[in-house]
A and B are shown apart, each in its own frame.
Chain A
Amino acid sequence: MTTLGELAKTVRSKNAGVDKITFDVIFRERETYERVTRSAVLTRASVAALFRIPESRLADFVNFAPGLAIKFTIYRERPSGSAGDPDIFGCQQYAPLLDVEVP
């Protein structure tokens, strides 16, 4: 079994405005991108389950072929930088994606 962390060139998260965090999984080759999209390991349902959130917190989910990327965006529970928000830039939320197994 291979993981997304092994297959992807980039796996990242970042604020998309003050109320959302967006995740990008970007591949180097088209065949790897197609292998992962075909496998359907990343879907609205699977990423919601991985991050333990209801699907209603997903704002967008896009397979972006020109960028060889899978991209999804979640609503934050509170705006970025509110007291108690541990990740003001939203840039350390992607780690669980690295271990997703791809058949």
Chain B
Amino acid sequence: MDSLRIICPNGHLGFAPLKPGSFNLGVAAGPHYIGADSGSDDVGPVPLGSDTSTAPLAWQVHDLEHILLAARTHKVPMIIGSAGDTGADSRVDLYLGIIRDLAKKHALKPFRLGWYYSNVDKEVVRAAIRRGEAVEGLDGRDALTEAELDATDRIVAMAGVHPYIKLLEQGCDVIIGGRSSDCAVFAAPAIFSGFPEAHAYYLGKVLECASFCAEPYGAKETVLGEVSQHDVQVTAMHPDQRCTIASVAGHAMYERSNPYDEFVAGGRLDMRDCVYEQVSEKTTRITGQRFIPAPQFRVKLEGSGKVGERYVGLVGIRDPYSVKHVDRMIDWARAQVRERFGDDGYELHYTVYGRDGVMGAMEPLRDQPGHEVAVLVQGVAKDAHTAEEVALIGSRQLFYARLPEVKGTAGSVAFPLDEVMRASPAYRWTLNHTMAVPDGLALHPTFSEMVGA
């Protein structure tokens, strides 16, 4: 085989549906594989912690149905990574159920369905800590402590290409992956087919977000990547989109700290010496990428822990003096919560929209609030009753805030709602760490079965 073609119809499958028009054009281009990543830590710690998806089931089914039918019709394998936003075991099982149901619904001919899991038992991590093998922090974090581990509800390990390759070796036609690096979904079949790691990982890097590597901007459209022994080429499938030097090089820096390094389990893709060439209107060619194997095999761990139940309140302020002195009103309300619950055992957060609601302390214009502001109040506590009361005191006492200079004495805030509302529980990212493992399969057991009539 001189080259391998893979299409990617969607980045973060399920977060918004794929666009069938360009997907059908991609399928018609004759790919050897169809791949899509379905996960992201962008959605915050709640889905992993609470073992849920942010994507509605209907959208997940929509995309899996399009891809499965195209893949089985054309007899090309499909690979989905990081199932259901988090790649946790329950999300893999959810996608396996969808695939089995779709196979039955469409009476598909038998095919081999493969999958792997990514959840990591906390005791496995604890044992590593106790052996003195540091679970090292990423992005400035300290090494993991047992206390932080105890505060964690769920951990997934980020797979590289290894479990995918193992499932491809077993002849799987449909692969549902647990948590993995986005690029592994595409790099795995390229490496499995004998192409150089550097080009394989670059192929994955450029395809992972589908049409985000094309211009003009338009998400959820299909792109086609082609890898050879010498290069990677990427082509936009939507009639109005092109993969240009600027759009492809621009994508190399998307969502990462610097545009030169992509870290995966087992090594690093180095893009410092990449050369980009426009080879036709819709296609850009990339050469010069390198893959540097890691001296020690380490796997990234993501963990989320529950902080507590959460209620939110929302109030508006129009009095110009109150707008200017809203921090004094907040201080008053905080003091009332403190009087009731003391200094700890809860969290109380204020966000002042119209002043610095989006950027907080980084807002250069925070001393120039608008003529009206909205204050979002969040109360968090171990139990729902306390959380509700924290949010309620924190909101309602803004109404009674004592600013003697204010002319209006009948109430200091406008309520759009009289109550506070239950929100998703509060979680936090407890793990963004790496752990040494013997190999790329150590934390990712693989399975397969035949499906279909």
Contact = CB atoms under 8 A, between A and B. Distances in A.
Interface in B238-272: 245-246, 249-250, 252-260
B179 interface: no
Interface residues of B, number: 48
A88 B46 CA distance: 11
A7 interface: no
Interface string B347-375: 10101000001111111110000000000
Given A19-B432, A86-B357, A24 B250 contact: yes
A16 B263 CA distance: 12
- Say whether chain B's binding surface is mostly helix, strand, loop, or mixed: mixed
A22 B42 CA distance: 13
B246 A73 contact: no
A83 B425 CA distance: 9
A62 B139 contact: no
B114 to A, nearest CB: 28
B59 interface: no
B255 A15 contact: yes
A45 interface: no
Interface in B118-151: 138-141
A37 interface: no
B139 A14 contact: no
B400 interface: no
B64 interface: no
Contacts of B274: 66
A53 interface: yes
Nearest to B248: A67
A79 B257 contact: no
Contact of B252 (A51, A67, A83, A86): A67
Contact of B429 (A66, A69, A80): A80
B43 A16 contact: no
A64 B44 contact: no
A22 B362 CA distance: 14
Contact of A60 (B42, B258, B307): B258
Contacts of B245: 66
B257 A60 contact: yes
Contact of B428 (A62, A82, A95): A82
Nearest to A50: B364
B124 to A, nearest CB: 21
Given A17-B138, A67-B246, A83-B380, A96 B364 contact: yes
Contacts, number: 144
A80 B44 contact: yes
B349 A84 contact: yes
A19 to B, nearest CB: 4
Nearest to B361: A52
B276 A66 contact: yes
A69 to B, nearest CB: 6
Interface in A88-103: 88-89, 92-93, 95-96
B357 A81 contact: no
A10 interface: yes
A59 B256 CA distance: 11
A49 to B, nearest CB: 9
A38 interface: no
B378 interface: yes
Contacts of B260: 62
Contacts of A64: 249, 253, 259
B383 to A, nearest CB: 15
B444 interface: no
Nearest to A59: B257
Nearest to A89: B42
Contacts of B164: none
Nearest to B364: A96
B253 A93 contact: no
Given A52-B361, A79-B429, A22 B351 contact: no
Given A52-B362, A59-B257, A67-B252, A19 B139 contact: yes
Contact of A81 (B44, B249, B252, B347): B44
B117 interface: no
11 contacts: A14-B254, A18-B139, A18-B432, A22-B256, A60-B257, A68-B246, A69-B250, A80-B42, A83-B347, A83-B349, A85-B44
Given A14-B254, A59-B257, A66-B259, 20 more contacts: A15-B41, A17-B257, A18-B432, A19-B139, A19-B141, A19-B432, A26-B250, A50-B364, A51-B364, A52-B363, A67-B250, A67-B253, A71-B258, A73-B258, A77-B361, A78-B428, A81-B427, A82-B426, A85-B44, A96-B363
Interface of A: 9-10, 14-20, 22, 24, 26, 28, 50-53, 59-60, 62, 64, 66-69, 71, 73, 75, 77-89, 92-93, 95-96
Interface of B: 41-46, 138-141, 245-246, 249-250, 252-260, 274, 276, 302, 307, 310, 347, 349, 351, 357-365, 376, 378, 380, 426-429, 432
